[in-house]
């Protein structure tokens, strides 16, 4: 049974991914800072939950020191931004880059030795269409997510010889707790605006993103690497 690790797995896309992978026969471990939601999801799915702050890089390294190797990594942890760049400063930059980009560095560094030794691995990075299109009110978030795309291609190039693939999924507006909170703050007009960004004129569901992630984690995706796949209702479509 393949061992999978999902970061930020207690809620939203992460929780849907835990459900999907565990239901697809993976032995799933997931980490999150939300201890209550993580424990409840682990009990519901029969998976293993680790309370862990993904930007405490020393703690992440200690976790891998004590862990058996993983066959699959889903770098999902992330945090959104709702402020214009001119209202931000260095502490904001460091925070959003650490959560949305550097956490993927830390976890990927942790899994690669085992994957390289086994000559098998699947790494899926959850980026965002904001990484390709930019984001009004989310410049640092978009920059981090764009960086994740470059990181994905680089890891794919470096590790193909080990049988390790690396791909990215790019969600658009997905009905996650993060988006729901943003709509509550900004009003219903924001929901309508988000829907209007997609060709399908609706918000996506976490399960739709999880299905794509699960495919890229599967044996069937063995000839796919270095790719960035939008799961965004056509938001990224350009002619």
Q: Which residues are catalytic?
A: 141
CA distances from 206 to 107, 190, 213 (A): 22, 19, 11
C-alpha to C-alpha distance for 9 and 38, rounded to whole angstroms: 7
Strands (E), the chain: 3-7, 27-32, 48-51, 72-75, 121-126, 164-171, 228-231
Neighbours of 89 (CB within 10 A): 7
CA distances from 60 to 21, 44, 104, 206 (A): 22, 25, 11, 26
């Amino acid at each position: 049974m393949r061992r999978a690790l999902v970061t930020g797995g207690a809620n939203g896309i992460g929780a849907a991914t835990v459900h999907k992978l565990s239901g697809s026969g993976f032995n799933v471990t997931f980490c999150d800072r939300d201890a209550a939601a993580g424990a409840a999801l682990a009990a519901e799915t029969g998976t293993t939950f680790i309370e862990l702050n993904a930007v405490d890089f020393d703690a992440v390294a200690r976790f891998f020191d004590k862990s058996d190797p993983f066959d699959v990594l889903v770098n999902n942890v992330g945090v959104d931004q709702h402020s214009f760049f001119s209202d931000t400063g260095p502490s904001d930059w460091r925070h959003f880059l650490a959560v949305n980009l550097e956490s993927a560095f830390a976890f990927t560094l942790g899994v690669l030795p085992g994957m390289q030794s086994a000559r098998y691995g699947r790494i899926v990075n959850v980026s965002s269409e904001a990484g390709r299109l930019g984001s009004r009110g989310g410049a640092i978030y978009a920059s981090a997510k764009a960086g994740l795309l470059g990181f994905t291609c680089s890891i794919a190039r470096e590790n193909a010889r080990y049988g390790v693939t690396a791909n990215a999924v790019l969600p658009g507006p997905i009905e996650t707790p993060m988006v729901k909170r943003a709509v509550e703050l900004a009003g219903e007009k924001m929901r309508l605006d988000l829907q209007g960004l997609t060709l399908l004129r609706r918000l996506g569901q976490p399960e739709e993103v999880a299905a794509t992630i699960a495919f890229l984690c599967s044996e069937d995706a063995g000839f796919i690497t270095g790719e960035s796949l939008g799961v965004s209702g056509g938001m990224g479509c350009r002619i």
